[in-house]
Structure 1
Amino acid sequence: MGGVAALGTALGMWVATRQHRAGRELLGVPARAVTGLLGSPISWSHHWVWVVPGLVLLADAALTRRSRPLWVALAAGVLFFAARPRNTDALGVIPSGVIWFLPNHHDLEYRWTAAEAAAEAAAQGESYSVLALSLLAAPVVLVLWRRYARTAGSR
């Protein structure tokens, strides 16, 4: 298991377990799904449909709490995963994310320039992992921040 997969699995299981113990099972579902995607040897773009429940929960939290950071996180997630409408032969027009910005239909990817291939590798290869790890790390950072604020306030 690679380092990113191991880190993602540990973070994801911690977040999902913490949400479950707090009675917020619904929040644990996207955490567990992202954990599976990070730990899986193959996570194709259509497997990331599990982001949708997370974005819905994030939208609900942003509306309920009226939190600017949550709105920014929601906007970043939507831009990343659904920023560009894409026309497919079978499904018509569907939302798609940054990995589909380059020409990729009817074997066009076989004629990419070196720059296009490098851009696709960067966008597709690591961007999902970086975003997923960021999403899983956010609750860890929040817990640590709250602990720091409590200890700093009691001094």
Structure 2
Amino acid sequence: MASPPSSLVRQARYRGRRGAIHVAARWIATGPWLLVLALTGGGCSLAYRLDTTLGKRDGADQADSQRSVPPNATAEMPSESDLAMARAAVSEVLSKGASSVPWENPRTGMRGTVTPLASLYSQNGIPCRDFLASFVKSGSESWLQGAACRAKRGTWEVRDLRPWSNS
């Protein structure tokens, strides 16, 4: 059998390492740009989270926000078992140095979060910290503000707890 003419047969060209070096050079050239893009995009996202976390919102944002429910300062105090769960969450959030800790009482259906408000301060030589606790049940939400101080055993004890007033 005769072979086809050489003009019809295409020979595969050996490219060797030259192509691999070209691809590597392209990645090296675009790598820094990808890093810059990732850092600037991440920075914008972080700044947004910090602004909303720290409460830097303008009036229009606050008016449009449907997520926040105004606290009910006239609500009655939660039950003692709910307060015990919230106190345990206060001790946990302050011991761990966390930004917020959720809590839940399965017996009553009450749940919420505890969030430290300010940095440590000293009261008669004892370290203390203010906090805000939310109480949510059946769509109704109330808030309590309080202060906890570090006990001799290293645990945190709630010293003050009252309905939160937005003043």
Q: TM-score range by the shorter chain?
A: under 0.3
Bigger relative CO (Cα 8 Å, ≥ 6 apart): 1
Larger radius of gyration: 2
TM-score normalised by the chain length of structure 1: 0.23
Which of the pair is proportionally richer in helix? 1
